[in-house]
């Protein structure tokens, strides 16, 4: 995989982008809601203040009119009138629309003569104003008081700027906190990655889980399981290579010896004898190589899923019996066959190897004259195949050892490698089958029963 493909997607960058995006979105949304609500509340407060001011002014003017009976306009100066954004316009009119009181800011600005009672919006001098119109109880005096919205807008803008500055500071702090948190979380992953990358191909010890986040433990545990399988495979390979080299040395040495003796043969009879011995050595080496190849094919598949298909053990056993019947006759061994339907899920290729090894072991280790009985069927709801012989048998305490590789029990006269039953067990395990060893024919010999699920 190229470096470009490896750097195409970054979990850290994605997390940082998503979290910052969410934080910024939440802040913008929250700020907008706060600003809108604050503006609405401030408008209500400004309106309330305008109404209270209007009532106060009207009560004062009403008292002045009662006491002094004013009939002309009186201009009231507004102290501290620096700019048009910080003043109120107000006028007091009688029922005939004559102006009795007004402030100097309103002297040259005409307020609406048809203003509705209460609060309303109006335009004055090209600006938007908030207007409040109020009559006294006798409806002899009307107060008009107005306030420019620019004053309110200035306050709202100031509030918005403060929210924006404060929010940006929070976003900056959140960015730093998020970056630091992500960096700290990924530090454990980087430590584990560096630990693995610094190893040599032969370093297959488990990855240390200390300091790694709990979310990474399942991944690291699977890596450790993978390392364990690789260690086991490597150990099996090394042991297999050493054992195979040791076992092949004997038949190869025999072939070499027979060739040397054959070169010094003095008669045709001696030559035929040595050729026969040479053929036996070659046959043994061939058989050993075939078994080694079978194990080599099975070892990498240990733990792998097996493609099992519906089949019948009787069909496979019939085929194997036909192949070995003639060999048995040549060695004064009879082959007794008892077949019954034995349906099960099976891998035909590997089961052929299993049956061939069972039959070959039984025929080779049964002295002539002897009998080897093969059968299959269903017992207690499970299909089985059984190979029993009339040979010397195996002591019960040694039953487990016969499944080990290259193990040949003492007292055996036939040449062999000790791989046959090891292959049988490996194939049975891949099928989920059980192997039971028991007494063979006529209370002696060995019976091997493979029971399928």
Last residue of a domain, one of 297, 322, 342: 297
- Phi, psi (degrees; rounded to nearest 5) at 333: -125, 130
Shared-domain flag, residues 281 and 325: no
Shared-domain flag, residues 247 and 114: no
Does residue 3 sit within a domain?
no
Shared-domain flag, residues 264 and 323: no
Task: Taking the CA atoms of 136, 140, 141 and 144 in sequence, report the sign of the dihedral they define.
Answer: positive
Host H or E run for residue 379:
strand 370-379
CATH number of the domain encompassing residue 292: 1.10.287.130
Task: Taking the CA atoms of 52, 57, 60 and 62 in sequence, report the sign of the dihedral they define.
Answer: negative
Shared-domain flag, residues 257 and 319: no
Q: Which of 425, 420, 444 is nearest to 435 (CA)?
A: 425
Does residue 175 sit within a domain?
no
Shared-domain flag, residues 262 and 325: no
pLDDT tens for residues 90-138? 888 887 878 777 776 554 455 656 677 888 888 777 778 888 888 888 8
Does residue 202 sit within a domain?
no
Cβ count near 268 (within 10 Å) = 8
CATH number of the domain encompassing residue 404: 3.30.565.10
166-186 per-residue burial string, b: 16 or more CB within 10 A, e: under 16: ebeeebeebeeebeeebeeee
Instruction: Write down the pLDDT at residue 87.
Output: 65
In contact, 129 and 151? CB cutoff 8 Å: no
Shared-domain flag, residues 255 and 142: no
Containing domain of residue 48, as a range? 12-158
- Phi, psi (degrees; rounded to nearest 5) at 387: -125, 120
Instruction: Write down the pLDDT at residue 118.
Output: 87
Instruction: Write down the pLDDT at residue 218.
Output: 83
CA gap 307, 85 in Å, rounded = 87
Task: Please report, for residues 10, 93, 360, 411, the alpha-carbon distance to residue 414 in angstroms, rounded to integers and kept in the order given.
Answer: 64, 135, 12, 9
Does residue 207 sit within a domain?
no
Shared-domain flag, residues 258 and 278: yes
Shared-domain flag, residues 272 and 146: no
In contact, 178 and 12? CB cutoff 8 Å: no
pLDDT tens for residues 178-207? 888 888 777 777 777 777 777 777 777 777
Q: How many domains does the chain have?
A: 3
Instruction: Write down the pLDDT at residue 386.
Output: 92
Instruction: Write down the pLDDT at residue 250.
Output: 61
| Segments of the chain with pLDDT less than 50 | 1-7, 78-86, 107-108, 410-417
Shared-domain flag, residues 288 and 321: no
Shared-domain flag, residues 329 and 259: no
Instruction: Write down the pLDDT at residue 376.
Output: 92
State CA 435 to chain mean position distance: 38
**How does strand 127-135 pair with strand 118-124?**
antiparallel
Shared-domain flag, residues 315 and 441: yes
Of how many residues is the chain composed? 453
């Amino acid at each position: 995989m190229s470096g470009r493909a490896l750097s195409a997607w970054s979990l850290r960058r994605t997390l940082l982008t998503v979290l910052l995006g969410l934080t910024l979105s939440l802040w913008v949304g929250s700020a907008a809601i706060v600003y809108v609500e604050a503006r609405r509340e401030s408008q209500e407060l400004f309106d309330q203040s305008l109404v209270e001011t209007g009532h106060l002014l009207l009560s004062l003017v009403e008292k002045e009119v009662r006491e002094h009976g004013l009939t002309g306009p009186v201009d009231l100066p507004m102290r501290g009138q620096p700019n048009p954004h910080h003043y109120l316009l107000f006028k007091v009119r009688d029922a005939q629309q004559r102006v009795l009181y007004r402030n100097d800011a309103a002297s040259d600005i005409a307020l609406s003569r048809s203003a509705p009672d209460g609060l309303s919006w109006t335009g004055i001098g090209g600006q938007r104003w908030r207007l409040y119109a109020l009559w006294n109880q006798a409806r002899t005096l009307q107060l008009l008081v107005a306030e420019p919205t620019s004053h309110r807008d200035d306050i709202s803008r100031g509030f918005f700027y403060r929210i924006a500055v404060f929010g940006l500071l929070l976003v900056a702090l959140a960015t730093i906190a998020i970056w630091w948190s992500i960096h700290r979380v990924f530090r454990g992953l980087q430590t584990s990655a560096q630990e693995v990358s610094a190893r040599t191909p032969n370093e297959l010890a488990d990855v240390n889980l200390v300091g790694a986040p709990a979310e990474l433990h399942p991944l690291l545990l699977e890596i450790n399981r993978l390392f364990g399988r690789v260690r086991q495979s490597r150990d099996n390979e090394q042991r297999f290579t050493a054992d195979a080299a040791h076992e092949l040395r004997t038949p190869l040495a025999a072939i070499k010896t027979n060739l040397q003796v054959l070169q010094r043969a003095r008669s045709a009879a001696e030559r035929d004898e040595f050729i026969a011995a040479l053929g036996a050595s070659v046959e043994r080496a061939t058989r050993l190589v075939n078994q080694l190849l079978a194990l080599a094919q099975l070892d990498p598949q240990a733990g792998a899923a097996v493609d099992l298909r519906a089949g019948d053990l009787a069909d496979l056993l019939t085929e194997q019996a036909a192949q070995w019947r003639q060999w048995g006759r040549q060695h004064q061994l009879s082959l007794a066959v008892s077949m019954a339907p034995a349906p099960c899920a099976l891998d035909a290729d590997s089961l052929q190897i299993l049956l061939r090894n069972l039959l070959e072991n039984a025929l080779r280790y049964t002295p002539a004259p002897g009998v080897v009985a093969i059968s299959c069927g269903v017992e207690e709801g499970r299909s089985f195949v059984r190979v029993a012989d009339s040979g010397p048998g195996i002591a019960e305490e040694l039953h487990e050892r016969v499944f080990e590789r290259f193990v040949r029990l003492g007292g055996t006269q036939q040449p062999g490698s000790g791989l046959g039953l090891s292959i049988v067990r490996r194939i049975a395990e891949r099928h989920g089958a059980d192997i039971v060893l028991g007494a063979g024919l006529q209370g002696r010999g060995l019976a091997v029963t493979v029971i399928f699920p």
